[in-house]
Amino acid sequence: MNPADVTYLPETPAHDAEIEHINEEAFGPGRFARAAYKIREGGPHERTLSFVAIHGDNVIASVRLTRIAAGEGRALLLGPLAVRPAFKNLGIGRRLVAIALDAAEKAGQPAVVLVGDEPYYGPLGFKRVPRGQVSMPRPVDLERILAMEIASGALARFKGEVCHADHAKIAERSLSPA
């Protein structure tokens, strides 16, 4: 496969069915039980910061970013990231992560967080979040919570239980005096 035959585009609703299929293939039914899935259930992902890789007429890989909150901190949750098996190990996953990070930075987002393998994401700039700094709505291996800070100090504010940013807004409204 020639890498020049792959194009990278912002995601649109027309890609949804193929992305669902790719995620099902990559993660199986277990994906619904994951902590990150639970967080993403709290609200929509950011279409303009989510990207697909296209080969011919087909979506062959996808990455999504979703706005999240923990305490006073705000960030984007990266994932799911998945590449169709026939297109693995061609640099497509790395490229999608780079495109998403670039878009997040240009959009003025403070940080990107994910639950994933450090050996893969470490070389892409992600570091472990110190143990105990954040918790997830479902059990997760704390060594796999990784982050990349974009705005200085953003990660220090990102503390406590992670939820979808829309969920945090609702909680803030219900706490503020009428």
Ligand X SMILES: CC(C)(COP(=O)(O)OP(=O)(O)OC[C@H]1O[C@@H](n2cnc3c(N)ncnc32)[C@H](O)[C@@H]1OP(=O)(O)O)[C@@H](O)C(=O)NCCC(=O)NCCS
Residues 127-146 that bind ligand X (CB under 6 A): none
Question: What's the gap between Cα 94 and its chain centre?
Answer: 13
Indicate whether 122 belongs to the interface with ligand X (CB under 6 A): no
Nearest C-alpha neighbor of 42 from the set 138, 167, 160 = 167
Among 10, 21, 43, 120, binds ligand X (CB under 6 A): 120
* Residue 83 binds to ligand X (criterion: CB under 6 A): yes
Cβ-contact 49, 36 below 8 angstroms: no
Residue identified by tokens 């993403």 is 40
**Backbone angles phi and psi of 106, in degrees to 5:** -65, -30
| Residue from 93, 103, 126, 150 binding ligand X (CB under 6 A) | 93
Query: H/E/C letters for each residue in 36-78?
Result: HHHHHCCCCCCHHHCEEEEECCEEEEEEEEEEEEEECEEEEEE
CB of 152 to ligand X, least distance (A): 26
- Minimal distance in Å, beta carbon 55 to ligand X? 12
- Determine which residue in the list 7, 89, 152, 176 makes contact with ligand X, applying CB under 6 A: 89
16 vs 72, which CB is nearer to ligand X?
16
Query: Shortest distance, CB of residue 150 to ligand X, whole angstroms?
Result: 20
Give the span between the Cα atoms of 27 and 15, in whole angstroms.
Answer: 18
Which of residues 119, 173, 174, 175 is near ligand X by CB under 6 A?
A: 119
Binding interface with ligand X (CB under 6 A): 26, 81-83, 88-94, 116-117, 119-120
